Amino acid sequence: MRIATWNVNSVNARLATVLAWLEAAQPDVVCFQEIKTVDEKFPREPFESLGYNVEVYGQKSYNGVALLSKFPVSDVRRGLPGQDLLAEDAEDQARYIEAVIEGPRPVRVGGLYLPNGNPIGTEKFDFKMRWMARLNAHARSLLELEEAFTLCGDYNVIPLPEDAKDPSAWVNDALFQPESRAAFRALKGLGLYEAGELGRQPPGAYTFWDYQAGAWQRDHGIRIDFHLLSPQAADRFVGVKTHRDARDMEKPSDHVPVVIELAD
């Protein structure tokens, strides 16, 4: 089973690009982030015509996640447990979707779009940290089920200096703060396995290049899109590929897909 995560940065604006990549790469399951549309305006038909079942948790103009699967899905969840009602408009932030993929050997897939958190020293950063704490609690509950699962998506965290071409450019950014990085380590410390490490991806396997200042042309990227696997999923791990070429497609997202393969 091949499972992709991709922050598409507006599914309707980049529909032709997204469909072209799907037809070429043929993933079985896809988690999109930043679809930037409400459910009823999500372009279901083009994806269904490619054989995907479609589950959407949308939001107007911002955020929004979707899950596509060529297998039947069950136990669909929209939103993390422990909704943070203290944060402004938090109840309206569509950032998490999860389902059991009913393949030959089922796997649970959670697709997430973690808050950016900028600027630091504001409620936005506090919300990011609270959201990560809720994700940690949910991951603990999933681990108790002893199932194969991946929590994949745009984590908006640069875990290590080698995950950035120029770490010094990010020292005042929420993605590279000690608190953000510690929360990511704590998540892995529950017993989750990061696919890039399992697959021994080399330094420079970046997943995001800003549109500004020629970041793509100068390869000033960062690695912020991840699959975190349960032990049961890690036992089935075959490989991981970062589809860097997608950043060079016509009208690209600023992120590229990351695809893992699990044995059936």
Domain locations in the chain as residue ranges: 2-262
Nearest to 183 by CA among 131, 121, 116, 118: 131
Q: What would be the CATH architecture of the domain defined by 2-262?
A: 4-Layer Sandwich (3.60)
Distance CA 55, CA 43 (A): 11
Helices 123-143 and 178-189: angle between axes, nearest 10 degrees = 10
Could you report the per-residue pLDDT of 34-53, keeping only the tens digit for each? Answer: 999 999 999 999 999 999 99
Distance CA 72, CA 68 (A): 10
Per-residue pLDDT in tens (0 to 9) along the chain, 264 residues: 999 999 999 999 999 999 999 999 999 999 999 999 999 999 999 999 999 999 999 999 999 999 999 999 999 999 998 765 545 545 559 999 999 999 999 999 999 999 999 999 999 999 999 999 999 999 999 999 999 999 999 999 999 999 999 999 999 999 999 999 999 999 999 999 999 999 999 989 999 999 998 999 999 999 999 999 999 999 999 999 999 999 999 999 999 999 999 999
Could you report the per-residue pLDDT of 170-219, keeping only the tens digit for each? Answer: 999 999 999 999 999 999 999 999 999 999 999 899 999 999 989 999 99
What is the amino acid identity at position 156? N
- Report yes or no: 262 and 107 within 8 Å, Cβ to Cβ: yes
**How many H-runs (helices) and E-runs (strands) does the chain carry?**
6, 14
- Report yes or no: 25 and 250 within 8 Å, Cβ to Cβ: no
